[in-house]
Amino acid sequence: MTETLRDLIELAVVVDPMYDQNCYVLHRRDTRAVLVVDPGLQHTRVLDLLDKQSLRCERILLTHGHPDHVSGVPSLKAAHDCTAAIHPDDRVQLAALHMLPGVPADVPDVVCEDDLGDGQTIHWNDINIEVMHTPGHTQGSVCFRVGPDLVSGDTLFKRGVGRADLPGGDWPSLMFSIENRLYTLPPETVVYPGHGSRTTIREEQELNPFVVHPRYR
């Protein structure tokens, strides 16, 4: 985010300790409006955060459809009457919701009203969020770019990358997405991953052991 956007937006990270999965809560400081990315098993803590600060979730964005990133969607939608969006290629992943240990059997199915597409700009409270389709971890994985900051889902981690051995995963596609989409972003881009701590594009170009490219070493 540019300095102007950082002045406008407060970003909170709520971590699910079972899977070390990050849910991001973007709050526009001058309103009560919130956008939530990847609500998982920590959804009750997300709801508590919103309630304590009298915040209102207006929309849910999903980086991909794996259960640890979407299992909190039904409760958040029920409490805040908001909509959810996912890339259409990952709708098939939503059927696996109850296969993840820790997801209660009575959790309703995840319903997403909206599709996300590569190059799409989401206009939210005068803030533009760019959708980048980055297949590899799943066929419909996306990243969200807000200014020079990036929410990378399970595509890129600090010193790591997403698994490609699960249904819908593909290693060559993952490497292509990282090298040709993410690594072409400005090096100072701050990366907020789906698991673990934040990093930068420059750090991963230089230090990530899974993506070794002579262009960056």
Model pLDDT for residues 61-71, shown as the tens digit of each residue: 999 999 999 99
At the topology level, CATH places domain 3-207 in Metallo-beta-lactamase; Chain A (3.60.15)
* Residue 84 φ/ψ, nearest 5 degrees: -125, 150
- Quote the pLDDT of residue 193: 98
Q: Is 214 exposed, middle or buried (0-12, 13-18, 19+ CB in 10 A)?
A: exposed
Q: What are the residue boundaries of the structural domains of the chain, listed by start?
A: 3-207
Q: With 70 as the cut, is the pLDDT of residue 2 above it?
A: no
Q: How much is the CA Rg of the chain, to the nearest whole Å?
A: 16
**Residue 3 above 50 pLDDT?**
no
pTM for the full predicted model: 0.95
pLDDT band at 5 (very low <50, low <70, confident <90, very high): low
Q: Which residue has the higher pLDDT, 186 or 4?
A: 186
Q: Over the stretch 126-176, which tens digit does the pLDDT of each residue have? A: 899 999 999 999 999 999 999 889 999 999 999 999 999 999 999 999 999
